[in-house]
Amino acid sequence: MLIPEWIAAEIHAGRTELQPMLDSAPYDRAAVRTVAASGDFQIVDGHVRMADVPSPGTWFPQREPTLVASWSLPVTVTEELLADAAVPVPLAIGSLVQVHRQGHRSLDTRLGPQALMMDDTEIRLGSIARFLRDLGASVGDTVHLHFDTTGSFDVSR
């Protein structure tokens, strides 16, 4: 079960107080706090509630419209990506790999570790230029970023 699914189940069961939720969570407290305060949820007067409108996006991978089957995110190759720019990714990716606000995660890949970081509002994947070079990708090509809950990552055409 992913953190947002767990939080939604807690809310549905009537257990909405933030502090007891953090104390009983089977997940990292900082990650639970991050999810509870953004995306599909909000904290109001010490209670976690479902947000009327998810902001800035959903934590539920199955609800994220930019993701396709098997947690694959299509990305158009740009000059910036070829030159080592970071790649913004949906909040749902953070949920999949359980990264929290001001946190980072090292993902396992066929080309070595890959960084994923979250600041106060967004999640960014470190440069994928080495994957793009490995694939022979050019500006304008579409590649797919593949994520899974074990912390594995890859890029394919």
**What are the residues whose beta carbons fall under 8 Å from the beta carbon of 64, sequence distance 6 or more?**
57, 58, 90, 91, 92
Q: Where in the chain is the domain with CATH 2.40.330?
A: 61-156
**What are the residues whose beta carbons fall under 8 Å from the beta carbon of 51, sequence distance 6 or more?**
39, 40, 41, 42
How large is the average pLDDT for residues 132-150? 94
**Shortest CA distance to 27 belongs to which of 96, 77, 130?**
96
Q: Over 70: is that where the pLDDT of 98 sits?
A: yes
pLDDT tens, position by position, 20-69? 999 999 999 999 999 999 999 999 999 999 998 777 788 988 888 777 65
Q: Look at residue 69 in the predicted model and tell me its pLDDT.
A: 58
Q: Look at residue 52 in the predicted model and tell me its pLDDT.
A: 85
Other Cβ atoms within 10 Å of 95 Cβ, number: 25
CATH of domain 61-156: 2.40.330
